[in-house]
Structures are given as C-alpha cells and as structure tokens.
Amino acid sequence: MINVNLRPDLKRKRARSPLQGIVEGVRGMGSKIKDPVLLLGIVSWVGVIGWLGFMVFGASRELAALEPQLEQTRAEHKRFKAFLTEKRHQETIRDSLVSQITVIRNVDGDRYVWPHLLDEVTKALPAYTWLSDLGVAGPAPAPAGAPASPGTGADADTSAAPAAAVQFEVNGRTVDIQAYTRFLRQLEASPWITDVTPVSAQTVVEKERAVTAFIIRGTYRQADSAYIRTVPLSQSVR
C-alpha cells in the first residue's frame, strides 16, 4: 500500500521542540513590542514574580524543617512548666513548715533550760560537796556611789527591754576547799554554762563541823549542736 502525505509541513512542525516554540514566541513578542520601557517593566515583573516564588518555596522548606523543632520545644515547655509548678508547690510547703517550726521554737525555747542546768551542775559536782539551793539569781548589787543605769528604775519601760539570759545561783557546802575550786573549773568547762563567778566562800559550822559555804553564779547559754544528744522516744504497747 502506498501512503501519500498530503500535508508535508505537519511532520516538520511536530518534530520541533516545545522549548523552541516558547523561545520563538518570546522573540515574536519582543519584535511586536517596540517600547523598551514596557519591555523592561515586563521583564522586571517576571523577575519579581520569580523571586517571590523562590522565596515562598524556600520559606516553605524552612518551615517544614523547623516543624519538628517546634514540636520538641512545645513538649519541653510543657515539661518545664509542670516542673516549675511542682517547685512552687514544694516551696510553699517548705515555707509553711519553716513557719511552724519557728513558732514551735519560740514557744518551746525555754522549756529545757533548767533540765540542762541541773544536768550540768550534777555532772560538775565533786565528791564531799552538796548543794543547799539552786535557783534564779537576783540582780547583782551595784557598787556604792555608782549612778543608776537608765531603765532600772520603777518607772522604766520593761516591755521594751530585751529578754535577759537566764542567770542562776548555786548555794552549797563542801568539806574540802579543793573540791570547791574543782567545782568552779568543771562548771566553766560546761558548754551550757558561761560567766561562772564565785560570789562568796566562808567557813561555817554545821552539826559541830567546820565546812565551807559557797555561793556561785553563772549564766545559761545555748550549746553548740555538737554537744546536743537526742534519743528516740519509745512507748510500750500491751
């Protein structure tokens, strides 16, 4: 069978590349447009549109890359927010406990003063020495002719005076004067007692026997925590 091509130009047109057609169209448009300003404007708009498309495409890629970091940051924000909330809650509990402990210390601060004093005086008491009295010491007598200090008169404002340290006085007897000096040294060595001062020491007769009667004054002080020994409380349950 013999085929005759009645349109010889059709095959040639189909064989052309599409890109070649676009280039020829642009050339034809350039030949049609005679105004260079208009041509420059069209080229500028094409460039702007191309640049905007490139920027949008780059921003989309960057946004897609930052999306996992954003999710991770949000998760860390939630975790740290929960941590800070728990921290504030713990600080509130701590402040409440500190306030309660302070109140208890203010109320219970002077409860064990005399047990400590009795314990320390008992430990320091030497042999052949006994006590006849142990109590709060009265005010020290002022030297003769000394002016009265402000605040010691009857009309002084006692409410504004600070709380004084606990001063105690020990009245005792001993048959050995060396035991009396040893008693003084052992009281001074106590971590709970300070300002140990001998007031008087004189020989008296008791039960037809000469003994040394002495008076000692001292001041209670809070010992260092290293000297405080605590023991657990136990209670038997039947």
The two tokens of residue 168 are 């105690």
Integer Cα distance of 104 and 99 in angstroms? 9
Handedness of CA 118, 121, 126, 129 (dihedral sign): negative
Which among 159, 163, 166 has a CA at the least distance from the CA of 111?
166
Provide the strand spans (E) within the chain.
Answer: 129-136, 167-174, 193-205, 210-220
Q: Which CATH number fits domain 113-138+165-223: 3.30.70.60, 3.90.650.10, 3.40.50.1010, 3.40.50.1000?
A: 3.30.70.60
Integer Cα distance of 41 and 33 in angstroms? 12
pTM value? 0.48
Integer Cα distance of 144 and 137 in angstroms? 20
**For the segment 14-62, what is each residue's pLDDT rounded down to a tens digit?**
555 666 666 666 666 656 656 677 767 777 888 888 888 888 888 888 8
- Domain locations in the chain as residue ranges: 11-109, 113-138+165-223
CB-CB contact of 163 with 131 (8 Å) = no
pLDDT confidence tier of residue 103, bands split at 50, 70 and 90: confident
**For the segment 118-161, what is each residue's pLDDT rounded down to a tens digit?**
999 999 999 989 999 998 886 544 444 444 444 444 343 433 33
Integer Cα distance of 98 and 75 in angstroms? 35
The two tokens of residue 2 are 């013999």
CB-CB contact of 129 with 172 (8 Å) = yes
**For the segment 9-23, what is each residue's pLDDT rounded down to a tens digit?**
555 555 556 666 666
The CA distances from residue 219 to 133, 138, 179, 200, in Å, are 16, 12, 21, 17
